[in-house]
Amino acid sequence: MTELLELDAVSLHYGSLRAVDQVSLKIGPGERHALIGPNGAGKSSLLGLIAGTLPCTSGRVLVGGEDLTSMPEHARARRGVTKTFQHSSVFLGLTVLDNIELAVQRLQGVSHRALRSLDRFDSVWKSARESLDAVHLAHRANDLASELSHGERRQLEVALALALKPRLLLLDEPAAGMSSAESAALVRLVKSLPRTVTVLLIEHDLDMVFDLAEKISVLHAGKLIASGDAAEIRGSQVVQDAYLGGANVEALFEEDDG
């Protein structure tokens, strides 16, 4: 079976700092996979290497067997690899719907002129509407993004990624700053995605991780130190030793929301 995502010894160096250090990982089609680890472990950097917002220092990124390593972000987006950002990437002066159309234009390479052609416009508009529906923001479509609550803005970021019809959806702490009701809605949304969408999620809240993810990978100082199901990660000696000198692994992440 072809893996949906295969990382082959990918690294990202900032001078002498190895933000990502020789990470190899395979994620199967339709999998819900979480990436955990303390602040500064390299989680966001690794997502950047997959999405193409950061260049690999070495190693290879394959999606559906195709080597995307040297492709820019928009070329990967066209192949179904899309990422939400940890920090807000929303244009506050535009409406919710315009934000989505802009993201689709930018990453799918639909030019302004092409967008005016009716077919193209219809398909962009339709996927924008569908993704707003999916995150329960349809009633806000014509409001300015600046009028959204923090949690709604995070939902919009997920909608931006969904509008691109991802095969691989990369979520970087999507629930950060959300209320518990908003986080619960986000969990339901991710659970409701069709299995044609593979999900790789960075999340500090281990309850959410264990609820959503079938597989969990742990990064520590740029290195992948463990990968497995919830029971394997909870019981992993290497995870416990690396962070905690043998204490309970969950204790670390509870105070790590920062």
Ligand X SMILES: Nc1ncnc2c1ncn2[C@@H]1O[C@H](COP(=O)(O)OP(=O)(O)OP(=O)(O)O)[C@@H](O)[C@H]1O
Give the residues lining the site for Mg ion (CB under 5 A).
44
Binds 39: which of ligand X, Mg ion, none (CB < 5-8 Å by kind): ligand X
* Alpha-carbon dihedral sign for residues 145, 150, 155, 159: positive
- Provide the phi-psi class of 181: left if phi over 0, else alpha when psi is between -120 and 50, else beta: alpha
Question: Which residues does 66 contact at the CB level (< 8 Å), separation at least 6?
Answer: 79
226, β-bridge pairs: 218
The tokens describing 67, both together, are: 């080597």
Identified binder of ligand X from the candidate list 41, 77, 186, 190, rule CB under 6 A: 41
By the rule CB under 6 A, 208 interacts with ligand X: no
Binds 238: which of ligand X, Mg ion, none (CB < 5-8 Å by kind): none
- Provide the phi-psi class of 222: left if phi over 0, else alpha when psi is between -120 and 50, else beta: left
Identified binder of ligand X from the candidate list 27, 33, 34, 42, rule CB under 6 A: 42
Identified binder of ligand X from the candidate list 11, 44, 99, 131, rule CB under 6 A: 44
Identified binder of ligand X from the candidate list 2, 9, 17, 70, rule CB under 6 A: 17
Residue in 38, 42, 49 with CA at minimum distance from that of residue 10: 49
By the rule CB under 6 A, 39 interacts with ligand X: yes
The number of residues that bind ligand X (CB under 6 A) is: 12
CB distance 14 to 73 below 8 Å = no
By the rule CB under 6 A, 11 interacts with ligand X: no
By the rule CB under 6 A, 37 interacts with ligand X: yes
What is the closest distance, in whole angstroms, from the C-beta atom of residue 187 to ligand X in the complex?
20
Q: Using CB under 6 A as the criterion, which residues of the chain lie in contact with ligand X when the complex forms?
A: 14, 17, 19, 37, 39-45, 86
